[in-house]
Structure 1
Amino acid sequence: MAIGFDKGFELHAQGMLLRGQRAEVIASNIANADTPGYKAKGMDFQKAMQQANQQQQTGMSRTHAKHFDVRTELNNHVDFRIPDQPDTGDGNTVDVQVERNLYLENSLEYQAGVQFLNGKIKALKNVISGGKA
């Protein structure tokens, strides 16, 4: 009997990819904090994960080279963020302190995901080796 690792790890792997994409969006905001007219962007992580979960449950996958890969459609959850601070006159909506806090939060959640996956892999290794890990 074959063990389907993709079923056990797919949603968690999608979560890690989404956290990585969210980190890129936040880092882009921080890098453009002094760019006049730059509008801060944000990613709705919950909606992106719900979409990934629905895709996993429905078994949507790319079956032909000319089909769109639905997993790349997760970028649709990146949008402009509503600013928390008044306009400073240059049109930039990035609040560096907010972005740094969001980056730290995302980083901690990414690390928690890595630890969760490590625990899951250790448990599988223990099962495969018959409890002698």
Structure 2
Amino acid sequence: MNMIDKTFDVHERALAYRGQRMEILSKNIANADTPNFKAQDLDFRQLLQGAQDNNLQLTKPGHTNLTPENSRSALKYRVPYNTSFDGNTVELPVEQAKYGQYAADYQTTLSILESRITGIRKALRGE
């Protein structure tokens, strides 16, 4: 694995997952008033376990099989704290709070990537 892969690989995958999770939460928020809509989220532990189980089958050490496409099996329905009469399991304040947290995590990952890119640019310029 070369230096560029080591620098960006983990953060690239983190951005993909955080983006996918924000997309799922956005869908939940958009359907907060839809009767019988079931809120969903990703089960990160299941994603991680699946990646560890598949790690032995991969060709390069350190690589995992974590891709947004593989995360569909980790998509779970969320159990609500409070039940709704119309069968909808979206709890808007919970979804909004989670979305805010994941948006902050996404921004943090972008900032880390930006600082790494800046470091590489400085190294290439000899600064």
Same fold, judged at TM 0.5 (above):
yes
Q: Which runs of 5+ in 2 are unaligned?
A: 60-64
* In 2: Cα distance, 1:4 partner to 1:88 partner: 51
The 1:120–1:70 alpha-carbon spacing in structure 2 relative to 1, beyond 3 Å, is closer
**Runs of at least 4 residues of structure 1 off by over 2 A?**
44-52, 57-61, 69-72
Cα contact 1:26–1:103 (8 A) shared by 2 = yes
Cα shift readout 1:86-133 (whole Å, capped 9, x = no counterpart): x22110110000000000000000000000001111111222222x2x
SS at match of 1:42: strand
Cα contact 1:16–1:110 (8 A) shared by 2 = yes
SS at match of 2:84: coil
Cα contact 2:47–2:66 (8 A) shared by 1 = no
2:58 matched residue in structure 1? 60
2:18 matched residue in structure 1? 19
1:36 matched residue in structure 2? 35
Q: Which runs of 5+ in 1 are unaligned?
A: 62-68
Q: Give the number of aligned pairs.
A: 121
Q: TM-score, normalised by structure 1?
A: 0.77
1:108 corresponds, among 101, 104, 125, to: 104
RMSD: 2.6
Within the alignment, does 1:75 sit opposite 2:72 as a pair? yes
The AA in structure 2 aligned to 1:83 is P
SS at match of 2:76: strand
Q: TM-score, normalised by structure 2?
A: 0.80
Which stretch has the larger CA shift, 116-125 or 21-30?
Answer: 116-125
Within the alignment, does 1:90 sit opposite 2:86 as a pair? yes
